[in-house]
Amino acid sequence: MIMLFSRIRCKNSLSLTTLIFFVFLQCTGAGKLQIASVSVNEQIIDKGISYSITENLIKINSSAHTTTIMEFPLDRAFIQASKSESEVQYKMAAFQFKDKALVECMDQSIEKIEVSNKTLVIRGNLFGETCESTYILRIIPVNSEEINFQLELNDPSLNRVSLSMQSDEDERFFGLGEQFTHFDFKGKKPFLFTEEQGIGRGDQPITTGANLVAGAGGNEYTTYAPIPHYITSRNRSVFIENSGYSKFDFTKDDSVKILFWDSNLEGSLKGTAWVASSPLELIELYTKKTGRMPEMPEWAYGTILGLQGGTKKVTKVVDDAIALKNPITALWIQDWCGKRVTNFGDQLQWRWYADESLYPEFTKFVKTMNQKNVKVLGYINPFLADVDPKKPGGDRFTNPMLDEAKAKGYLVKDIEGKPYLIQTVGFPAYLIDITNPEAIKWTKNIIKKNMIDVGLSGWMADFGEWLPTDAVLHSGVSAKVYHNRYPVEWAKLNREAIKEAGKEGQIVFFTRAGFSYSNKYSTLFWLGDQMVSFQKNDGLPSAVLGMTTSGISGISLNHSDIGGYTTISNPLKNYHRSKELLQRWAEMSAFTPVFRTHEGNRPLKNWQVYEYENSDQVKSLSDQETGIHFAKMGRLHFALKTYIKQLTKESSKLGYPVVRHPYLHFPNDPVVQKLKYQFMLGEDLMVFPVVESGEDEVKGYLPEGKWKHTATGKIYDGKTWVEVEAGIGNPAAFIRMNGKSQAVLEKALIGLR
């Protein structure tokens, strides 16, 4: 390679002292950087943002904080690019990626640094054995705590681009959307792509089994709702606007590297960085840009029973629960559109109108429930199901909506221009192309006419993560970069239908798949399809992490299926919901914003919160003790209504998550940074959920201050580990003494149980 000396120029009136010209070389695989070393007094860019250059760093500084917003190393290339070709394997929304670099620009030069039009502009070249491209990196001040950055390459064939930023050994990294295995990503290499979270995600033996059968086991980074946004222990934050597949490398002590695929299809690599005084301030700044979730209606704070099976069954179960003094405020019936039994269990018909055979006179049924002060919720997703050609004896299923969507060209297409047939779990189906304005209008009309007009007060807006990367879309946008946007636009479609119906603030829909800006459109999230187990990567413990991580990236209202969802019958090992798991999950969920059950995909294999026997004398797995326990947890959750309402109001104004990792309030405590399976509800209630089977005591860490145990009233000093009794029905929670909500919490909780 020919080594070129380069120059740095600065166009402003402030003094600039040039030292000597020389070349920095980095020969460890990180890439070489060619640059003339200079010494620059701090130069103002605009709005309280300045830059300075030292021997080893370009620093972007804030007048409001001593911590730099961003730093770029000068002892190695911090911009790299390549032309690559990828192979993507797709099955059941589980994606496997293989990437081969054809051309690599691993070395960098800086030709000029200047302030132009109140923007810091860094220009130079990228080099490789058979690669060369100019680049421009722009730093644009927004205010004294926020900058936008934009990296552009002039060679459009370069479809992989990476940006490295200086860090240090002690800097920790949190966020990246909804994550189920890790809280701190220091030392990790996560990838971000919205997909099915996987069955097991590393828990054994189920992960191996799921991989052998369908390649659907997942791993420590698979998630429904990744978001390219993180905060750090140095109180700075980075958010990338791009929506392609990405990788983040936090394994180096001195740097962070971000790699995005297909940035050429989006024009450039774009992002925002912030610096603040605390983690909560960073979240406030991030959500000011990306959106905040709305307050919930009054009915959403009670117990929401997730049931299916028709009018007779759900009416009896609701009445029985009310008799046990469970504050039932809503009934969620996912099978309002009809049931379809497959080899995966009880599924739905995926045609979006009421099934009058299960729920005769559906509108009347909804009104009857409303008269009991019970709202009714349904279900929808962006698929339209087809007949199952593999069903023995033939499939009598029909779907007039699918026929209409095909005729009008409202479906995602394959590379041959035909509607893209996708094999889902149980039967084939087609995705609605929501890049088509007419398809959007058509789908919103279905929601307004068949759901809102019949009286539904909300629904699960499922899926969103299934778009194949080789699909052809109406808008012409590449599915590679639209894949992660699809669930966001799906949520937007649902939100617009509600607004057009004049029901904003009265209806709640909950989504599981998401990406950047999901918090702007979704009214509620849920964590998806956890296993009915105590296993860490995909069971009850993972639900705790899912809530605390997602809140950092704007998903402020989140909850889980009480008891989990995914139920597996297998000759080697059954994964069926136990009574203990159901009870422990209910205890954890009592301290979250929404308290909602799910029967799971195999209801008769799972322990349920109700007792019921159908006309064929088939009984649910349950007992009276379970119903009493569940009602008790429902009352506990409802007792927190005033407090949770305060938190959701705060969330809508500031973006703060309702369920929080303790780090958000105690960022300087090194013990807190390592916690994984305890959480705070707001700032004044600490919860130690029991997430292991067979335990009657639970151990957790109380940070600085004094904390009152809600069960005994005993006060504990902070900055210490404590172990307390936590038998079934006695979850461990601690009120922060002298907190602003101490009186509200004591009134709600002390002596309640």
Q: Quick one: pLDDT at residue 374?
A: 98
Domain limits, the chain: 684-749
Q: Is 700 left (phi over 0), alpha (psi -120 to 50) or beta?
A: beta
pLDDT category of residue 751 using cuts at 50, 70 and 90: low
- Answer yes or no: are the C-beta atoms of 591 and 639 closer than 8 Å: no
Query: Tokens in use for 630?
Result: 């569940």
Q: Above 80 in pLDDT, residue 405?
A: yes
pTM > 0.75: yes
Active-site pick, 46, 335, 386, 462: 462
Burial class (CB in 10 A: 0-12, 13-18, 19+), 458: buried
Task: Classify strands 458-461 and 246-249 as parallel, antiparallel or unpaired.
Answer: unpaired
> Tell me, what's the pLDDT at 39?
57
Beta-strand relationship, 303-307 and 595-596: parallel
When the pLDDT of each residue in the chain is averaged and rounded to a whole number, the result is 94
Q: Is pLDDT above 60 for 314? A: yes
684-749 belongs to which homologous superfamily?
Golgi alpha-mannosidase II (2.60.40.1180)
Q: Provide the CB-side half-sphere exposure for 53 (13 A, CA).
A: 21
CA 726 to chain centre: 30
Across the beta sheet with 422-423, the strand order is 383-385, 428-431, 422-423
pLDDT above 90 covers a percentage of the chain that reads 90
In the residue annotation, 529 being an active-site residue is answered as yes
* SS3 call for 213: helix
Whether 465 is a known active-site residue: answer yes
pLDDT over 80 at 12, yes or no: no
669 is a catalytic site residue: no
Confidence check: pLDDT of 9 > 90: no
C-alpha 196/C-alpha 138 separation (Å) is 36
User: What is the per-residue pLDDT across 300-313, written as a single tens digit (0 to 9) for each?
Assistant: 999 999 999 999 99
- Cα separations in angstroms, 552 against 237, 341, 433, 510, 524: 11, 38, 31, 18, 15
Q: Which helix (H) or strand (E) holds 507?
A: none
Calculate mean pLDDT across residues 625-637.
98
**Catalytic one among 433, 465, 599, 684?**
465
Distance CA 13, CA 598 (A): 66
Determine whether 220 is exposed, middle or buried from the number of CB atoms within 10 Å of its CB (0-12, 13-18, 19+): middle
The confidence score (pLDDT) of residue 214 equals 87
pLDDT digits (tens, 9 = 90+) for 598-628: 999 999 999 999 999 998 999 999 999 999 9
Q: Which one of 104, 196, 203, 529 is the catalytic residue?
A: 529
pLDDT at 752: 66
What is the pLDDT, as a whole number, of residue 16? 31
Q: What angle do CA 116, 121, 125 make, to 5 degrees?
A: 140
Q: What is the pLDDT of residues 256-293, one digit of tens each?
A: 999 999 999 999 999 999 999 999 999 999 999 999 99
Farthest-apart Cα atoms in the chain, separation: 90
Q: How far apart are CA 262 and CA 594, in angstroms?
A: 38
Check whether 20 has a pLDDT greater than 50: no
Is the separation of the CB atoms in 723 and 698 below 8 Å? yes
CA atoms within 13 A on the CB side of 350: 25
Please say whether the beta carbons of 509 and 545 come within 8 A: no
Q: What is the mean pLDDT of residues 533-544?
A: 98
DSSP state of 22: -
Q: Among positive and negative, which fits the CA dihedral 404, 406, 410, 412?
A: positive
What percentage of the chain has pLDDT greater than the value 70? 95
Average pLDDT over residues 435-453: 98
pLDDT of residue 340: 87
Residue 446 has pLDDT above 50, yes or no: yes
Q: How many CA atoms lie within 13 A of 114 on its CB side?
A: 12
The strand ranges marked E within 79-216 are 79-91, 94-105, 107-116, 119-128, 131-143, 146-153, 160-166, 173-177, 191-192
| 302 sits in which H/E element | none
